[in-house]
Amino acid sequence: MPPSDTPENTTAPGVGDGVADGPLIVFDQVVKRFGDLTVLDHLDFDVAAGERVTLIGPSGSGKTTILRLLMTLEKVTEGRINIGGEPFSHMPKGSGLAPASESYLRRRRKSIGMVFQQFNLFPNMTVRRNIMEAPVNVLGLSKDEASARAEELLDLVGLGDKIDAHPTQLSGGQQQRVAIARALAMRPEILLLDEVTSALDPELVAGVLDVLREVAETTDITMLCVTHEMGFARDVSHRVMMFDEGRIAEEGHPDQIFGDPQEERTKTFLKSVLENGH
């Protein structure tokens, strides 16, 4: 594929400006509670720019909540998230920090994209408009530019012929590939993947993972990926983080985590995933 066909873009203004050194994403003592339930418990971790991190762990261990905090779909209860060296969950106010306002969040989250478990395509639009509307309305692209970008990205995900279809006319795997194209059309610097194959029939999983492998190989988008696809995690990620009860139980290179897990909880979890046929 010629370079111009890749959704590579690290020059988008936003989260990573002026921080060649230092981590891109920093969780600093982050606590997230829903009522009495503590989902994330004083969590600390960093993600470097261009790094691909896979989050694994039993359900309810807080993996998805991390992605939702980064997409600003949830707010932290305590602690702070910084992105690109600047506050993200909070905003500067006077000499201190205040919870981020909606307009502050809108400015700061523009380089973050997310793909959801249930795809969440807009059923009132064709595939083309699903991909085009945000680049036109948010990034200010002309309709022609956005349409060309949509065509390019649909070719990338192997659905060039479906551009004028409605989402309801597509299989789950096809819808998810459109959702990936829609997220990439915003040229995100950080891509959040929330169990993107969990809602798919087994025979459709491979197509979606192949697209994501290609994105991983041809771009330097920072990726945080919650998945139960261990083979995929091993192939694309630089680091695997094993979560349990809102904390990191173990983290390391995928070869170490999958080949030689140290923690009992990691061993038990990986065993149960294997037994379930993944």
Partner 1 sequence: MEFLQAQLPRYLDGAWITLQLTFGGAVLAFVLAMVFGIMGTVRSWLLRAITTVYVEVFRGIAALVVMFWFVFAVPDMTGFELEPMFAAILALGLNVGAYGAEVVRAALNAVPRAQVEATVALNLSWFQRMRLVVVPQAWAQMLPTFGNLIIELMKATAVVYMVGILDLTAVAREVRSGTGETLAAFAIAFVIYYLIAQVLIFGMRLLERRANQKLGRTPPSGGGIMSLLRPPSVGTQVGVAK
Pair 98, 91: CB distance under 8 Å: yes
- What are the CA-CA distances from residue 38 to residues 63, 77, 183, 246, 247 (Å)? 13, 10, 30, 7, 10
Question: In this chain, which stretch among 39-47, 69-77, 142-150, 251-259 interacts with partner 1, using CB under 8 A?
Answer: 69-77
Q: Between residue 175 and residue 214, which ones bind partner 1 under the rule CB under 8 A?
A: 175, 182-183, 186, 199
| For partner 1, the closer CB: 63 or 182 | 182
141 interacts with partner 1 by CB under 8 A: no
State the Cα–Cα distance between residues 194 and 183, nearest whole angstrom.
Answer: 13
Contacts of 80 (CB under 8 A, 6+ apart): 28, 29, 30, 87, 88, 89, 90, 97
User: Least separation, in Å, of the C-beta of 149 and partner 1?
Assistant: 14
123 interacts with partner 1 by CB under 8 A: yes
Pair 79, 33: CB distance under 8 Å: no
34 interacts with partner 1 by CB under 8 A: no
Residues 72-101 as x/- pattern, contact with partner 1 by CB under 8 A: xx----------------------------
| For partner 1, the closer CB: 10 or 118 | 118
User: Least separation, in Å, of the C-beta of 42 and partner 1?
Assistant: 26
Pair 165, 127: CB distance under 8 Å: yes
| For partner 1, the closer CB: 186 or 230 | 186
Pair 237, 221: CB distance under 8 Å: no
